[in-house]
Structure 1
Amino acid sequence: MYKYFKLQENQTNPKTEMIAGITTFLTMVYIVIVNPVILADAGVPFDQVFTATIIASVIGTLWMALFANYPIAIAPGMGLNAYFAYSVVGTHGNIDYVTAFAAVFIAGVIFIILSLTPFRKKLIEAIPENLKHGITAGIGLFIAFIGLRLTGIITDHPTNLVGLGDLHSPSAILALIGLAITLVLMTLRVNGAMFFGMIATGFIAFFTGQLSFDQGFVSMPSLPEGFMVLNPITAISDVIQHSLYAVVFSFLLVTIFDTTGTMIGVAQQAGLMKGKTMPRAREALLSDSIATTVGAMFGTSPTSAYIESSAGVAAGGRTGLTSLTVAILFIVSAFFGPLVSAVSGLAAITAPALIIVGSLMMSSISHIEWGELDEAFPAFLIILSMPLTSSIATGIALGFISYPLMKIVKGKWKDVHPLVYLFAVLFFYQLAFLPH
């Protein structure tokens, strides 16, 4: 163990690494509850998503542990699951979730190929920083809005489209209490604050009669619909038939720079960077791309490196032994499906996590160059349009179209990478001529 994970070289020990793994797991285990809730809105069966979420998380995190030796955990990404459920399924010619998983699968395969080539690095460098920050913030607003809507805190309004809901309803009251409890725990820097906030909210729901455990607590994991994607040829034909090129590109784009940014951030925090380069970056990126591909086969949205891994690093995690601990705990959680199913059936328990994650993602706004209109407005357009159109892809498209146009007007067309011009043309064609 010492030699394989290089514990002595990284000045750590098994006990510290395992405690760090438990810390990371507690901060991100909310995903096994929240992910099935979101994908259920797309019609995917709860048991399918619950088991697929854990399979994808275990595969990605194990790869990270054994091949990349980083204390970084992988799981289905927040924002990408919302994009899958609310922006892809039911649109683009009324596609169903099986076809949408085909798009995720193809995005994962392309990500694997890019992870093995230098093109991935060029793609990351080509995307303007302000657009990256705008996309992160826009997704944050979008998922926070979903959390507010699921609990009835915000409802439809005949004139203003949205308005304040009935704050006296049991769902709204429970969500606000859960939000308050979780915020207090996070302010006090309690590790696993979101998870413990859910537990506290669940207790309140149980004692007020809003939550019951009719199916028990423990059962064997199951995949009621089997494999969602089995034949790559069929997946490719589904993407072509339904013109899901923009969907595949959106999944790919967000996953690549979200994962890369998170990995670099956590590696820097752990002191594992060598100057500006990240050792074993290829192996680290493969953990995410392989997990996305396998996850789509079983029935979950794209995976991402979790920024919550920084909690484990803060607790002393420095090697893959931290990630291995997380993967083992995810395997254990697979046997608590009925418990998670009961909790996920009550939106007020999971909504505070959506709202708070949205808040954390909004911090990207501070990095946008607001003093430069040609940089700020495309980012603003992304942030504004994602929640208002309920489409992450539309937000990305509008940002990529407006950015080069404003640079051309300002005489800075040479500052724009050729790939951005290519993306702008593709997105314009998609918005103008394809269903969306």
Structure 2
Amino acid sequence: MFKLKENQTTARTELVAGITTFFTMVYIVIVNPVILSDAGVPFDQVFTATIIAAVIGTLWMAFFANYPIAIAPGMGLNAYFAYSVVGGQQEISYQTAFAAVFIAGVLFIILSLTPFREKLIDSIPESLKHGITAGIGLFIAFIGLRLTKIITAHPTNLVGLGDLHSPSALLALAGLAITLVLMVLRVNGALFFGMIITGLIAFFTNQLSFDQGFVSLPSLPEGLIVANPITALTDVIQHSLYAVVFSFILVTIFDTTGTMIGVANQAGLMKNGKLPRARQALLSDSIATGVGAMFGTSPTTAYIESSSGVAAGGRTGLTSLTVAVLFIVSAFFGPLVGSVSGISAITAPALIIVGSMMMGSIAKIRWDELDEAFPAFITVLSMPLTSSIATGIALGFISYPLLKVFKGKWREVHPLLYVFAVLFFYQLAFLPH
């Protein structure tokens, strides 16, 4: 089913890769409920809804697309939901906001069933594809450094070196050193074993504890939040949430598209600049977005942390299946998952190392041609600085056709790029983000 031999991998490698991806992204089952609870959604509701959405999207990716890419509710989109949509000037309820997410998911499915999203991937220039991959690498490395306080906020320079004597920084640096040594020695599953060793160090230095126990039953205290599509559509029309639906669709399309290109590039799965089985892969997050909204979570996206599993050798849907199974298990081990995911220094070394590996795509950008180089550069630079993959892609999409027009090469630009340059300019200039 997963064509392991054809993809030059083994079941053991795929399982280790899946475990690695899971532990680098499982923080979402804690962080997502924390953020959405600020919008009034019950924590237990979002915890279970997050897992349901992640399982459905990732299983679709595993069985229909056969890619080692995991799906889960996106960071940034949850903050937009909680603080701009529910907590914004319109003062709408979270139930109404989930109606907007559901309608966005339905429209998203329709778009994914058409050739539109496949054509979008094909239309992205090679320089921007490499820039997206490198930008994601820089972004996830920055996340790893920031979460462990190795890099902290600075009053004048915005960021600066943190306290390297803090327990979190010391644990992360120790884990980074151990994992790098394992990687250099070419130990199979080095990223995963690095996390295990770092976790043991955290436990024996009293940074990791299991005070809340290990097991609890999942629950959905509010049941289905969106049960009637007609009611959801009526809510969107009644509250004029068209801009909200548009923002969810636009950001999610490019978050997922950018991540899939980056991870597929890293895994060597792109064929002649195209992504095979793109439609099946792109359906995964649109279906998960619609289902997730019904149970109570913000839009889903492909996870950049999937690159850690690819770095561990993952090449097929068996990696994604492993992630989905572990998400199901995590539903019954909420306290345990919360304890481990709460120690960012355990997973941060994997993010930093994978980030360095993804930066290799920079070498493939044509730096001697400014009309190719600058859009890639602004994409790479803005992803970590704005904490948004979609914003990085937006700035690249705006600058690329603009420079080509002034250089007299406007015919080289795919028509879709002009369309999205205008849409992205409108979104950045006039819509909340």
> Which TM class, normalised by the smaller chain length?
0.7 to 0.9
Letter in 1 for 2:300: P
Structure 2 CA distance for partners of 1:136 and 1:411, relative to 1, 3 Å: same
Q: Which residue number corresponds to residue 409 of structure 2?
A: 412
Deviates more, 1:129-138 or 1:231-240: 231-240
Identify the match of residue 27 of structure 2 among 31, 34, 43.
34
Identify the match of residue 133 of structure 1 among 130, 133, 142.
130
Deviation per residue, 1:98-138 (Å, 9 max, x gap): 58766665554344223322222222222222223323322
Q: Which residue number corresponds to residue 178 of structure 2?
A: 181
Identify the match of residue 343 of structure 1 among 337, 340, 343.
340
Q: 1-side partners of 2:341 and 2:2: how far apart?
A: 39
Identify the match of residue 12 of structure 2 among 7, 19, 28.
19
Superposition map of 1:279-428 within 5 A: 282-298=279-295, 299=297, 301-304=299-302, 306-307=306-307, 310=310, 327-428=324-425
Q: Which residue number corresponds to residue 166 of structure 2?
A: 169
Gaps of 5+ in 1: none
Structure 2 CA distance for partners of 1:429 and 1:304, relative to 1, 3 Å: closer
Letter in 1 for 2:252: F
Shift of 1:209: 1.8
Shift of 1:249: 0.8
Identity fraction in percent: 62
Q: Secondary structure at the match of 1:221?
A: coil
Deviation per residue, 1:383-416 (Å, 9 max, x gap): 2222223343332222222111110111101111
Q: Which residue number corresponds to residue 431 of structure 2?
A: 434
Structure 2 CA distance for partners of 1:97 and 1:367, relative to 1, 3 Å: farther
Q: 1-side partners of 2:389 and 2:310: how far apart?
A: 26
Q: Which residue number corresponds to residue 250 of structure 1?
A: 251
What is the Cα-based RMSD across aligned positions, in Å? Answer: 3.9
Q: 1-side partners of 2:20 and 2:240: how far apart?
A: 35
Shift of 1:228: 6.0
Deviates more, 1:397-406 or 1:247-256: 247-256
Identify the match of residue 196 of structure 1 among 190, 193, 196.
193
Shift of 1:353: 3.4
Q: 1-side partners of 2:240 and 2:187: how far apart?
A: 44
Letter in 1 for 2:233: I
Q: Secondary structure at the match of 1:163?
A: strand
How does the TM-score come out when normalised to structure 2?
A: 0.79
* C-alpha contact 1:106 1:235 (8 A) present in aligned 2: no
* C-alpha contact 2:33 2:44 (8 A) present in aligned 1: no
Matched, 1:76 2:87: no
Q: Secondary structure at the match of 1:166?
A: coil
Q: Secondary structure at the match of 1:369?
A: coil
Structure 2 CA distance for partners of 1:105 and 1:184, relative to 1, 3 Å: farther
Q: Secondary structure at the match of 2:331?
A: helix
Q: 1-side partners of 2:362 and 2:119: how far apart?
A: 24
Letter in 2 for 1:302: T
Gaps of 5+ in 2: none
Letter in 1 for 2:409: K
Superposition map of 1:143-292 within 5 A: 143-223=140-220, 227=224, 230=227, 231=229, 232-233=232-233, 236=236, 240=241, 243=244, 245-259=246-260, 262=263, 268=269, 282-292=279-289
Structure 2 CA distance for partners of 1:151 and 1:88, relative to 1, 3 Å: farther
How does the TM-score come out when normalised to structure 1?
A: 0.78
Deviation per residue, 1:28-69 (Å, 9 max, x gap): 121453323553663457755654454334323433455x3x
* C-alpha contact 1:39 1:84 (8 A) present in aligned 2: no
Letter in 1 for 2:32: L
Structure 2 CA distance for partners of 1:207 and 1:111, relative to 1, 3 Å: same
Shift of 1:76: 2.8
Superposition map of 1:91-110 within 5 A: 91=84, 94-95=87-88, 105-106=102-103, 108-110=105-107
- How many residue pairs get matched? 416
Q: Secondary structure at the match of 2:302?
A: strand
Q: Secondary structure at the match of 2:67?
A: coil
Deviates more, 1:238-247 or 1:351-360: 238-247
Shift of 1:427: 2.0
Q: 2-side partners of 1:309 and 1:365: how far apart?
A: 21
Q: 2-side partners of 1:277 and 1:386: how far apart?
A: 23
Letter in 2 for 1:233: L
Structure 2 CA distance for partners of 1:166 and 1:353, relative to 1, 3 Å: same
* C-alpha contact 2:78 2:298 (8 A) present in aligned 1: no
